Amino acid sequence: MTTPEPLDSTQLGAYFALIETSSLLRHAVEQQLRDAGGLSYVQFQLLASLDDAPGRRARMTDLADGIVFSRSGLTYQAQALEKRGLVTRTPSADDERSIDVALTDEGHTTLRAALQGHVALVRDLFYAPLTPDETATLGDLLSRVRDHMRQAPPRSAKPRRTTRPSR
């Protein structure tokens, strides 16, 4: 086993900047969400996904996609949201194995309230130091990396798909 070709400093810089930027942002945002509506970031993402979905409802599996990495993790969060009345869960009409998750009015209200401070914070922390052009460039580059990772085959090729299929 030989020494790996080292990354050059430009590459390393970009990697570390990504890690620290997202870590700082995530931490700040989680705190805000917790203070505002008692939501974890994952819960916030789930509510936001539902809000975007047609009819403000989605199957558990479709909801999981892109947010959570295990089935049981989704069940855990969905139950928590249901307990708080932010979401309802009903067996799906067409496929009786499935569960439809739907945003309640209270869920919608809670989301809107959380979004208030959320948007303000993201604006202050993330967009403030960038020009509109730069924001667009950054978004474009990150989107390409994201798309590449979405389709990247896990190196230690896991045979079966779990919660996180094609998309």
Partner DNA sequence: TATTGTTATACTCTATAACTATA
Partner DNA sequence: TATAGTTATAGAGTATAACAATA
- Contact footprint for DNA (CB under 7 A): 27, 40, 42-43, 59-61, 68-80, 89, 92, 95-99, 160
Q: Please, what's the b/e burial string for 6-24 (b: 16 or more CB within 10 A of its CB; e: otherwise)? A: eeeeeeeeeeeeeeeeeee
CB closer to its own copies out of 31 and 90: 31
Stretch that binds its own copies, among 1-9, 78-86, 88-96, 102-110 (CB under 8 A): 1-9
Please select the residue that binds its own copies; options are 40, 146, 162, 165, rule is CB under 8 A. Answer: 146
Taking CB under 8 A as the rule, does residue 5 contact its own copies?
Answer: yes
**90 touches, from its own copies, DNA, none (C-beta below 5 to 8 Å by class):** none
Taking CB under 8 A as the rule, does residue 128 contact its own copies?
Answer: yes
